[in-house]
Structure 1
């Protein structure tokens, strides 16, 4: 990991709610919620004032139970859904001075295709299952305005080789692949335009343990080789321990604790983090 200098990504007070809110839950001072849910109007506050920095070459883990808001956070950052409010700044975009959430849809597409890659928990969300593997990689390159067929094919071969997919299977569709191989094709696709940031959302959930280990080894190797910054979401502290330099713990849409991963695992401060760590022992 590089020396911490200027953050590559800064998120400030990101909020995402589902529902319009009411008098009981709109005020942050005297908000009456049942966890992150308003029993009066049914509004769900999935992310509440989420603030953090991601540094060059760093893997930042985000851990929490289902419904804690971690995947909603990733969807907001990747523009899969709009944030309700908040700010996001990317060092590689307009010198980190423009709030990404306020950019036009055209600019958001540019950011999404040139400056970020995302690997989804369910490969169906990240891949076209009926396209060939190499066509899936080319699709993201075309979205980034690459029109050179030769360079796309060459890059596709290089990436499939890098993620350990046999090149003789590049013309096969991911629907014919195992879950672990589908995730590796997704990783290749996400890396196709050399983005400085990779978002990984529960990428090993549902895979057999041996397959999980292979995918995690691959991510670790790629991170070392490419020195890419990663945001890694998981409910599994074992995954976080293996990959993350720093960790944020989320509960009910709020960051309840953050720090160096070793520190969080060895000396958890918040009761929920203590519970998580003890369940790992």
Structure 2
């Protein structure tokens, strides 16, 4: 168990608010707050003191209703949004000693291109729809400093093969693909630089059930084969049950419960988690 003692990713007291905050709402418990919205100044507290660790080879699930803060959290982790406060530390970056949120935009780009991959719910955010599929992978490799065309082509071919994109379609643009195929190209692109950490944000939402199942099977087999750590956001407890080793439950910007997935689903402690689990049954 020794290798599990050092987290791949540590998040400490992450805060994200939209709006200035005011004397009425800044203590976090005031009557001016309805859920995570201040009726006086209009500030929304999307993430409130969120802390967690992700360990090597672990899949961490994050579940919660719409507006719970889980997608905002993912945007902050991949620097798609700036945080209001808190820290993030990666074992593979400066020995986990530097707060990623305080690094320069150039360094954050380096982290995005080399140490993390992300698969977005909407493929339009993760793919260039007019590039070929293999061109999308090459783009990520070039951003990380690769220059050898032959090596990029072979890496792209290897990855598209892994995610079951037919050879004769690898030079085709993703705009011609089905939703499930677009997600598979996104997964290949996210894995192109062998990142130790993969962020998956609602990757099966909007896909047909049979397509969802094949994408989830793919993620599961790749995770086992490559032994990467994954942070997986979903509102679907079936997805969480299938993939996540541990699970965090979010509500109104806060983590209200966390633990081993089986325990969360079999014996939920918080009233909201109990409602969530019973709605699935």
Following the alignment from structure 1 to structure 2, what is the Cα–Cα distance between the partners of residues 20 and 273? 31
The Cα RMSD (Å) is 1.2
Q: Deviations over 1:100-142 (max 9, x none)?
A: 0110111000001000000000000000111100000011111
Provide the residue aligned with 1:243 in structure 2: 243
Q: CA deviation at 1:29?
A: 5.6
When normalised by structure 2's length, the TM-score is 0.98
Does residue 202 of structure 1 match 2:187?
A: no
Following the alignment from structure 1 to structure 2, what is the Cα–Cα distance between the partners of residues 108 and 4? 26
Following the alignment from structure 2 to structure 1, what is the Cα–Cα distance between the partners of residues 242 and 168? 32
Q: Deviations over 1:57-109 (max 9, x none)?
A: 00000000111000000000100011110011000000000010110111000
Provide the residue aligned with 2:132 in structure 1: 132
Does residue 51 of structure 1 match 2:51?
A: yes
Q: Aligned runs of 1:29-108 on 2, under 5 Å? A: 30=30, 32-108=32-108
Provide the residue aligned with 1:150 in structure 2: 150
SS of residue matched to 1:25: coil
Provide the residue aligned with 2:190 in structure 1: 190
Q: Deviations over 1:155-190 (max 9, x none)?
A: 000000000001110110000000000000000000
Does residue 277 of structure 1 match 2:277?
A: yes
Following the alignment from structure 2 to structure 1, what is the Cα–Cα distance between the partners of residues 238 and 274? 14
When normalised by structure 1's length, the TM-score is 0.98
* Structure 2: gaps spanning 5 or more residues: none
Q: CA deviation at 1:28?
A: 3.3
SS of residue matched to 2:117: strand
Following the alignment from structure 1 to structure 2, what is the Cα–Cα distance between the partners of residues 206 and 252? 24
Following the alignment from structure 1 to structure 2, what is the Cα–Cα distance between the partners of residues 109 and 276? 37
Following the alignment from structure 1 to structure 2, what is the Cα–Cα distance between the partners of residues 241 and 2? 26
After the TM superposition, list the runs of 4 or more consecutive aligned residues in structure 1 that deviate by more than 6 angstroms.
Answer: none
Q: CA deviation at 1:23?
A: 1.1
* Structure 1: gaps spanning 5 or more residues: none
Q: CA deviation at 1:4?
A: 2.2
SS of residue matched to 1:157: helix
SS of residue matched to 1:23: coil
Q: CA deviation at 1:27?
A: 2.2
In structure 2, do the counterparts of structure 1 residues 31 and 152 end up closer, same or farther at CA, with 3 Å as the change threshold?
Answer: farther
